[in-house]
Amino acid sequence: MISSLTAEKLACVRGERRLFDGLSFRVKAGQALAVEGANGAGKTSLLRLIAGFLAPAAGTLTLTEDGKAITDAEERGRFIGWLGHQDGLKPQFTVIEQLRFYSQLYAAARTGEEDVLEQVGLTRQRDLPCRYLSAGQKRRLALARLVVSNRPLWLLDEPFAALDAAGQAMIGRLMAIHCGSGGMVVAATHDPLGLGNESLKL
């Protein structure tokens, strides 16, 4: 299990624009970090740096697992569950088929896809092809994918997007459960996470 994520003097450059420089923070197991800032400030870029999709212009990112420091981006990716703006769904799959596909893809130790569908409020849509899902339902299924991934570090890009009040409360519960079991959350958001979390302003 990972015990912390540490960023030291991170810098990010996109094109010829330096989005941020000298950025440092630490998130421990069981904690959440809300990354706040105006549009274009670099919130999504920071998540992509952590995920290993982008290389930092300067600085280091370190995951600590059982006292071992992990600095390689590819190795770090094994611990990361990603929730971005793209749903990544196959339209011809039913909801349960899609979730089972993700469970097998991640080779996750966790089973019980039916229970996860109940957690995200998609039990009634179980056998519905994904192409018929609303934007909010697709978001819920993406959250179910995150749960079955069994990854300890969740990176969430605007996690409340496309969700109604009930859906926002649901993801709040999922984040609380994840952190309560020793996981970590880093979320780029305009909205409060409601977890008593730390905040990082860009």
* Helix-, strand-, coil-residue percentages of the chain, each rounded to 5: 35, 30, 35
| Burial bucket for residue 1 (CB in 10 Å: 0-12, 13-18, 19+) | exposed
Provide the domain limits for residue 94.
30-58+74-201
The pTM is what? 0.93
Asked if residue 116 lies in contact with residue 166, where contact means CB atoms within 8 angstroms, the answer is: no
**Angle, CA 129 vertex, CA 108 and CA 106 arms, to 5°:** 10
| Best CA proximity match to 84, nearest among 162, 184, 5, 201 | 162
Asked if residue 184 lies in contact with residue 47, where contact means CB atoms within 8 angstroms, the answer is: no
| Burial bucket for residue 72 (CB in 10 Å: 0-12, 13-18, 19+) | exposed
In a domain, 165, yes or no: yes
Q: How far is CA 89 from the centre of its chain?
A: 16
**What is the Cα–Cα distance from 160 to 155, expressed in whole angstroms?**
13
In a domain, 12, yes or no: no
In a domain, 114, yes or no: yes
In a domain, 43, yes or no: yes
**What is the Cα–Cα distance from 23 to 103, expressed in whole angstroms?**
35
In a domain, 2, yes or no: no
In a domain, 111, yes or no: yes
Q: Domains in the chain: how many in total?
A: 1
Q: What is the pLDDT along the chain (202 residues), one digit of tens a residue?
A: 899 999 999 999 988 899 999 999 999 999 999 999 888 889 999 999 999 999 999 999 999 999 999 999 999 999 999 999 888 899 999 999 999 999 888 875 555 889 999 999 999 999 999 999 999 999 999 999 999 999 999 999 999 988 999 999 999 999 999 999 999 999 999 888 888 888 898 8
Q: Which two tokens stand for residue 24?
A: 């440092």
Q: How far is CA 166 from CA 30, 121, 176, 189, 201, in A?
A: 24, 10, 15, 18, 27
In a domain, 53, yes or no: yes
Domain at 100, CATH number: 3.40.50.300
**Torsion sign (Cα): 114, 117, 121, 123:** negative
Kindly report, residue by residue over 82-105, the tens digit of the pLDDT. 999 888 899 999 999 999 999 888
In a domain, 10, yes or no: no
